[in-house]
Amino acid sequence: MKSNIKTVGVCGAGGTMGAGIAIVAARAGFETRCFDTSHEALDRARAQTDSFFNKSVDRGKVSAEDRDIALGRLQPTTTIDDLSDCDLVIEAVFEDLSTKQTLLSKLDQACKPETIFASNTSTLSITEIASGCERSDRVVGMHFCLPAQLMKLIEMSPGLNTSQETFKAAWAWTQIAGQQPVKTQDKPGFILNALLVPFNNDAIRAVEAGVASPADIDKAIKVGLNYKMGPLELIDLVGLDTQILLCDAFYPITLDPRASAPPLLRRMVAAGRLGRKSGTGFYNYADNAMFGG
Amino acid sequence: MNYELRQQGESRSFPAGDPFLAGAVDGADVIIYLGAPFEADDNVAVILIELGTDCLGVHTGENAGREGSNVLGFARYRNGDDPPSNLIELVRQPGTQESAINAAKALFEVAGFEVVVCTDQVGRIVDRLVRPKYNVALQFLDEGLATAADMDLTCRLGLGYADGPIERLERGGLRHHYDVSKALFDIYATPTFAPARRAAIAKQREDL
């Protein structure tokens, strides 16, 4: 498989997702420009990346030589003009339409005309994001899963104006990078989040309705459906506040009642029960007690 | 723990040949109804009634939220025609005796099952949660969001599921999905439970 893409830029490379995407690109042999507005975030990401590659060496997945070569391909920068010669720029910045549109507008000015822009959005419309620049035919959805450096799946979505040539080139790049692309339409949440977010909300509503305890709901889903993790465990892991953000992104667009944040979710966030990161969510991580049991 | 079976017809939880059937004895302190007409008996530790898409209250009657006795419902979760899973969903009522719940849990756990307890709702836990997701997946398929194979692959790779929604529905039988969704929709009347078009078509074809 051939690709004209040699140099990749990652915007938001100081974040968890952006750093993971940069690893995917560098590991696959692409010169990778890691752009972020924060020096500190880039430094943090670099330390995490070093640690990731060192573990890969320890586990025998990568040789020390390949690690050093891959790390050498990662070039941090806080200057957007350093992305000017990139063939592909993947943005993984804050999940906000105007933020992404503004970024694409700046990239439009900074990058050569042939550069393809890919958005890692999980909820927003590719077509709307692309409207922030003058090359909407060269913008594509490329949604990685967390952690990007470990998860193979990428949801690929063309916007209304995306050219076939752009989509094919971006698709081919994901395959060369060792990922597994799937094609979806440009719809809220694509496949993954469109199925998952309402399902998780339904589980919260079942707790609120007193159908069963969180532990029994998770156990039923894991044993009955052979899932690795129950929906409430997953929400605790992702963060209840993040679940609200997802709901608030979906519901105004879809008006699907299942996508609206359940009242219990809002109450728990108001009470500071954010999940694992706060020590309490549907489960209490201090003493394993359960909320709502 | 000994248990007596009162069976009429095939059980979805324990199909013919299931090892659990062979462990039954007459005159036990636990009575399990598998399709046979239920008779109340306050002198045994617990009575268990196998449920399908029906509620326990259909068998026991209800009393303004005060219902409950030594009778519980149960079902072993099963995806349509797939073999039964290892999950037993126990169904309680507001006034169900804790001793009866504990006895029922102990009985099934000793037999090697994983047990959860829920209130008396159509669809119990799993179907109540998973049927709307399957309906949406079928709707996405009709709308061309993605191919069936890509939807399944996304769920397997992205969420770590053992199988995706479409392949699971196809394997278990779309007509079963229709029956369960219809039962949920009849009670709750929310569109989320309304059987998706492809499930309705499968059901209509079965009836031809």
Structure confidence by residue, pLDDT tens digits, B112-162: 999 999 999 999 999 999 999 999 999 999 999 999 999 999 999 999 999
Classify residue B57 as exposed, middle or buried by CB count within 10 Å of its CB (0-12, 13-18, 19+): middle
B64, B42 contact by CB (below 8 A): no
Give the residue ranges of DSSP H helices in A177-274: 192-208, 214-225, 231-238, 240-254, 263-270
Q: Which residues of chain A neighbour B147 with C-beta distances below 8 Å?
A: 183
> What per-residue confidence (pLDDT) applies to A3?
81
Q: How far is B153 from chain A (nearest CA, A)?
A: 8
Please answer whether residues B88 and B116 qualify as being in contact, where contact means their C-beta atoms are separated by less than 8 angstroms.
Answer: yes
pLDDT per position in chain A (293 positions), as tens? 678 899 999 999 999 999 999 999 999 999 999 999 999 999 999 999 999 999 999 999 999 999 999 999 999 999 999 999 999 999 999 989 999 999 999 999 999 999 999 999 998 999 999 998 999 999 999 999 989 999 999 999 999 999 999 999 999 999 999 999 999 999 999 999 999 999 999 999 999 999 999 999 999 999 999 999 999 999 999 999 999 999 998 999 899 999 999 999 999 999 999 999 999 999 999 765 444 43
For residue A227, what are its two tokens? 């899932």
Q: Nearest by CB to B145, which of A185, A219, A231?
A: A185
Between chain A and chain B, the number of residue pairs with CB atoms below 8 A apart is: 135
> What pLDDT, on a 0 to 100 scale, did the predictor assign at position A287?
61
For chain B, the residues whose C-beta falls within 8 A of a C-beta of chain A are 77, 79, 85-87, 89, 114, 116-119, 121, 124-126, 128-130, 132-133, 136-137, 140, 143-147, 150-151, 153-155, 157-163, 165, 190, 192
For the segment B55-78, what is each residue's pLDDT rounded down to a tens digit?
999 999 999 999 999 999 999 999
User: What pLDDT sits at residue B208?
Assistant: 80
Q: How do beta strands B87-92 and A153-158 pair?
A: unpaired
**Phi, psi for residue B122 in degrees, rounded to 5:** -60, 135
In 3D, which of A232, A198, A214 has the Cα closest to residue B134?
Answer: A198
Token code pair at residue B120: 């008396």
A51 is catalytic: no
- Helix and strand counts by DSSP (H, E) for chain A: 11, 8
B195 preceded by cis ω (within 30°)?
A: no
CA B205, B51, B62 angle in degrees (round to 5)?
120
Range B126-205: architecture per CATH: Orthogonal Bundle (1.10)
Q: What is the pTM of this model?
A: 0.93
Hey, where are the domains in chain B?
4-119, 126-205
Written as one string, the DSSP assignment of B91-133 is EE-TT--HHHHHHHHHHHHHTT-EEEEEES-TTTTHHHHHHHH
pLDDT for position B117:
98
Confirm or reject CATH 3.30.310.50 for domain B4-119, answering yes or no.
no
ipTM of this complex prediction, to 2 decimal places: 0.98
**d(CA B149, nearest CA chain A) in Å:** 9
* Residue A3: both structure tokens together: 């690709």
Instruction: Tell me the C-alpha distance between A101 and A96, whole Å.
Output: 9
**Sign of the dihedral through C-alpha A227, A231, A232, A234:** positive
